[in-house]
Structure 1
Amino acid sequence: MNQLSAKHVEQQIKNNKKVTLIDVREPEEVAAGKIPGVINIPLGLLEYRLHELKKSEEYIIVCRSGSRSGLATSFLESRGYNATNMSGGMISWEGAVEIAGQYQPAR
Protein backbone atom coordinates (compact mmCIF):
# COMPACT_ATOMS: atom_id res chain seq x y z
CA MET A 1 0.00 0.00 0.00
CA ASN A 2 1.28 3.46 -0.91
CA GLN A 3 1.65 5.87 2.01
CA LEU A 4 2.60 9.51 2.47
CA SER A 5 3.16 11.39 5.71
CA ALA A 6 0.82 14.22 6.63
CA LYS A 7 3.80 16.59 6.30
CA HIS A 8 4.45 15.38 2.73
CA VAL A 9 0.78 15.86 1.79
CA GLU A 10 0.84 19.35 3.28
CA GLN A 11 3.95 20.16 1.23
CA GLN A 12 2.27 18.94 -1.97
CA ILE A 13 -0.67 21.26 -1.28
CA LYS A 14 1.66 24.20 -0.56
CA ASN A 15 3.47 23.51 -3.84
CA ASN A 16 0.12 23.66 -5.69
CA LYS A 17 0.34 20.04 -6.80
CA LYS A 18 -3.07 18.76 -7.85
CA VAL A 19 -4.11 16.69 -4.88
CA THR A 20 -7.51 15.06 -4.46
CA LEU A 21 -8.10 14.19 -0.83
CA ILE A 22 -10.84 11.85 0.36
CA ASP A 23 -11.65 11.90 4.07
CA VAL A 24 -13.25 8.61 5.13
CA ARG A 25 -14.28 9.80 8.61
CA GLU A 26 -17.91 10.21 9.61
CA PRO A 27 -19.55 13.61 8.87
CA GLU A 28 -19.53 14.70 12.53
CA GLU A 29 -15.78 14.01 12.72
CA VAL A 30 -15.18 16.02 9.54
CA ALA A 31 -17.28 18.90 10.88
CA ALA A 32 -14.89 19.15 13.84
CA GLY A 33 -12.00 19.90 11.47
CA LYS A 34 -11.02 18.96 7.94
CA ILE A 35 -8.35 19.74 5.40
CA PRO A 36 -9.74 22.49 3.12
CA GLY A 37 -11.06 21.07 -0.15
CA VAL A 38 -11.30 17.47 1.06
CA ILE A 39 -14.12 15.24 -0.21
CA ASN A 40 -15.96 13.39 2.57
CA ILE A 41 -16.90 9.80 1.77
CA PRO A 42 -17.35 7.84 5.02
CA LEU A 43 -15.62 4.46 4.93
CA GLY A 44 -18.94 2.59 5.21
CA LEU A 45 -20.24 4.31 2.07
CA LEU A 46 -17.09 4.08 -0.05
CA GLU A 47 -18.09 1.02 -2.06
CA TYR A 48 -21.47 2.62 -2.86
CA ARG A 49 -19.87 5.86 -4.07
CA LEU A 50 -17.15 4.40 -6.30
CA HIS A 51 -19.03 5.77 -9.32
CA GLU A 52 -17.98 9.27 -8.15
CA LEU A 53 -14.28 8.41 -8.51
CA LYS A 54 -12.10 8.06 -11.60
CA LYS A 55 -9.51 5.33 -11.98
CA SER A 56 -7.30 7.78 -13.87
CA GLU A 57 -7.07 10.18 -10.92
CA GLU A 58 -4.76 9.97 -7.91
CA TYR A 59 -6.42 10.04 -4.47
CA ILE A 60 -4.93 10.59 -1.03
CA ILE A 61 -7.06 8.99 1.67
CA VAL A 62 -7.40 10.61 5.11
CA CYS A 63 -8.94 9.61 8.45
CA ARG A 64 -8.29 10.39 12.11
CA SER A 65 -5.23 8.19 12.69
CA GLY A 66 -4.46 6.42 9.41
CA SER A 67 -6.22 3.15 10.21
CA ARG A 68 -9.54 3.60 8.39
CA SER A 69 -7.77 5.36 5.54
CA GLY A 70 -5.47 2.34 5.28
CA LEU A 71 -8.50 0.08 4.89
CA ALA A 72 -10.00 2.45 2.31
CA THR A 73 -6.71 2.66 0.40
CA SER A 74 -6.44 -1.14 0.23
CA PHE A 75 -10.07 -1.40 -0.88
CA LEU A 76 -9.60 1.21 -3.62
CA GLU A 77 -6.35 -0.35 -4.83
CA SER A 78 -8.07 -3.75 -5.06
CA ARG A 79 -10.64 -2.14 -7.36
CA GLY A 80 -7.98 -0.59 -9.62
CA TYR A 81 -7.91 2.95 -8.21
CA ASN A 82 -4.73 4.95 -7.62
CA ALA A 83 -4.94 5.57 -3.86
CA THR A 84 -2.40 6.55 -1.22
CA ASN A 85 -2.88 6.45 2.54
CA MET A 86 -2.00 9.59 4.54
CA SER A 87 -0.22 7.92 7.44
CA GLY A 88 -0.87 9.38 10.86
CA GLY A 89 -4.17 10.89 9.72
CA MET A 90 -5.55 14.14 11.07
CA ILE A 91 -3.74 13.52 14.36
CA SER A 92 -0.49 14.20 12.48
CA TRP A 93 -1.86 17.03 10.32
CA GLU A 94 -0.27 20.41 11.07
CA GLY A 95 -1.57 22.27 8.02
CA ALA A 96 -4.58 24.52 7.67
CA VAL A 97 -7.99 23.16 8.65
CA GLU A 98 -11.57 24.20 8.07
CA ILE A 99 -13.93 24.02 11.04
CA ALA A 100 -17.62 24.69 10.44
CA GLY A 101 -16.81 26.68 7.30
CA GLN A 102 -14.12 28.76 9.05
CA TYR A 103 -10.54 28.56 7.78
CA GLN A 104 -7.92 27.99 10.49
CA PRO A 105 -4.26 28.56 9.50
CA ALA A 106 -1.57 25.92 10.04
CA ARG A 107 -0.46 25.27 13.61
Structure 2
Amino acid sequence: MEDTYKNITAIALQELLEKEDIILIDVRTHEKYNEGHIEESINIPLEDIATYKGDIDSVHYIICQQGSRSKEAAEILIKKGYIVVNVLGGMTDWQGEKIED
Protein backbone atom coordinates (compact mmCIF):
# COMPACT_ATOMS: atom_id res chain seq x y z
CA MET A 1 0.00 0.00 0.00
CA GLU A 2 1.33 3.41 -0.94
CA ASP A 3 1.39 6.07 1.74
CA THR A 4 1.39 9.02 -0.64
CA TYR A 5 -0.67 10.24 -3.55
CA LYS A 6 0.23 11.25 -7.08
CA ASN A 7 -0.70 14.47 -8.83
CA ILE A 8 -2.20 15.15 -12.26
CA THR A 9 -2.89 18.44 -14.03
CA ALA A 10 -6.43 19.46 -14.97
CA ILE A 11 -5.43 19.22 -18.64
CA ALA A 12 -4.14 15.67 -18.19
CA LEU A 13 -7.37 14.80 -16.35
CA GLN A 14 -9.41 16.08 -19.27
CA GLU A 15 -7.41 13.90 -21.68
CA LEU A 16 -7.87 10.90 -19.38
CA LEU A 17 -11.65 11.42 -19.17
CA GLU A 18 -11.84 11.31 -22.97
CA LYS A 19 -10.28 7.82 -22.95
CA GLU A 20 -11.70 5.99 -19.94
CA ASP A 21 -14.15 5.96 -17.06
CA ILE A 22 -12.62 6.98 -13.75
CA ILE A 23 -13.74 7.70 -10.19
CA LEU A 24 -13.60 11.49 -9.84
CA ILE A 25 -14.55 12.94 -6.46
CA ASP A 26 -15.24 16.67 -6.17
CA VAL A 27 -14.69 17.68 -2.53
CA ARG A 28 -16.12 21.21 -2.80
CA THR A 29 -19.30 22.19 -0.97
CA HIS A 30 -22.63 21.19 -2.51
CA GLU A 31 -23.24 24.85 -3.37
CA LYS A 32 -19.95 25.25 -5.28
CA TYR A 33 -20.43 21.87 -6.98
CA ASN A 34 -23.89 22.89 -8.19
CA GLU A 35 -22.49 26.14 -9.62
CA GLY A 36 -20.42 24.10 -12.07
CA HIS A 37 -18.78 20.67 -12.04
CA ILE A 38 -17.30 18.02 -14.29
CA GLU A 39 -20.09 15.75 -15.55
CA GLU A 40 -18.35 12.52 -14.52
CA SER A 41 -17.65 13.70 -10.96
CA ILE A 42 -19.43 12.79 -7.75
CA ASN A 43 -19.74 15.34 -4.96
CA ILE A 44 -18.45 14.34 -1.55
CA PRO A 45 -17.60 17.49 0.42
CA LEU A 46 -14.33 17.46 2.32
CA GLU A 47 -16.11 17.28 5.69
CA ASP A 48 -17.73 13.98 4.57
CA ILE A 49 -14.74 12.34 2.88
CA ALA A 50 -13.63 10.40 5.98
CA THR A 51 -16.84 8.33 5.79
CA TYR A 52 -16.47 7.55 2.07
CA LYS A 53 -16.68 3.86 1.23
CA GLY A 54 -15.69 3.14 -2.34
CA ASP A 55 -13.78 0.49 -4.27
CA ILE A 56 -10.49 0.26 -2.39
CA ASP A 57 -8.75 -1.25 -5.45
CA SER A 58 -9.69 1.53 -7.89
CA VAL A 59 -7.81 4.77 -8.46
CA HIS A 60 -9.67 7.78 -7.04
CA TYR A 61 -9.10 11.21 -8.60
CA ILE A 62 -9.79 14.12 -6.23
CA ILE A 63 -10.62 17.68 -7.32
CA CYS A 64 -11.63 20.90 -5.56
CA GLN A 65 -11.57 24.57 -6.58
CA GLN A 66 -7.81 25.25 -6.51
CA GLY A 67 -6.13 22.22 -4.96
CA SER A 68 -5.90 22.71 -1.21
CA ARG A 69 -9.02 20.78 -0.15
CA SER A 70 -8.26 18.01 -2.61
CA LYS A 71 -4.80 17.57 -1.06
CA GLU A 72 -6.38 17.27 2.38
CA ALA A 73 -8.95 14.78 1.07
CA ALA A 74 -6.20 12.80 -0.67
CA GLU A 75 -4.28 12.49 2.59
CA ILE A 76 -7.41 11.25 4.40
CA LEU A 77 -8.15 8.64 1.72
CA ILE A 78 -4.52 7.47 1.54
CA LYS A 79 -4.62 6.74 5.28
CA LYS A 80 -7.74 4.64 4.67
CA GLY A 81 -5.87 2.60 2.05
CA TYR A 82 -7.20 4.14 -1.17
CA ILE A 83 -5.17 4.76 -4.32
CA VAL A 84 -5.43 8.51 -4.89
CA VAL A 85 -4.50 11.06 -7.56
CA ASN A 86 -4.86 14.77 -6.73
CA VAL A 87 -5.88 17.18 -9.51
CA LEU A 88 -3.51 20.15 -9.39
CA GLY A 89 -5.13 23.54 -9.93
CA GLY A 90 -8.61 22.09 -9.49
CA MET A 91 -11.66 23.56 -11.17
CA THR A 92 -9.80 26.87 -11.56
CA ASP A 93 -7.55 25.19 -14.16
CA TRP A 94 -10.28 23.00 -15.70
CA GLN A 95 -10.85 24.01 -19.34
CA GLY A 96 -13.57 21.50 -20.19
CA GLU A 97 -17.34 21.70 -19.94
CA LYS A 98 -18.93 22.45 -16.58
CA ILE A 99 -22.40 21.15 -15.71
CA GLU A 100 -24.67 23.32 -13.57
CA ASP A 101 -27.41 21.89 -11.35
**What's the TM-score once normalised by structure 2's chain length?**
0.92
Counterpart Cα distance in 1 of 2:79 and 2:7: 15
What 5-or-longer segments of structure 1 have no aligned partner? 101-107
- Could you tell me the percent identity over the aligned residues? 31
Alignment partner of 1:14 is 2:15:
no
- The residue aligned with 1:103 is none
- Aligned with 2:81: secondary structure? coil
Counterpart Cα distance in 2 of 1:14 and 1:37: 11
Shift of 1:97: 1.1
What 5-or-longer segments of structure 2 have no aligned partner? none
> What amino acid maps onto 1:4 in structure 2?
I
Higher relative contact order (CA 8 A, sep 6+): 2
> What amino acid maps onto 1:3 in structure 2?
N
Alignment partner of 1:30 is 2:39:
no
Alpha-carbon RMSD: 0.9
- The residue aligned with 1:77 is 78
- The residue aligned with 2:96 is 95
Structure 1 consecutive aligned stretches of length 4 or more whose deviation exceeds 3 Å: none
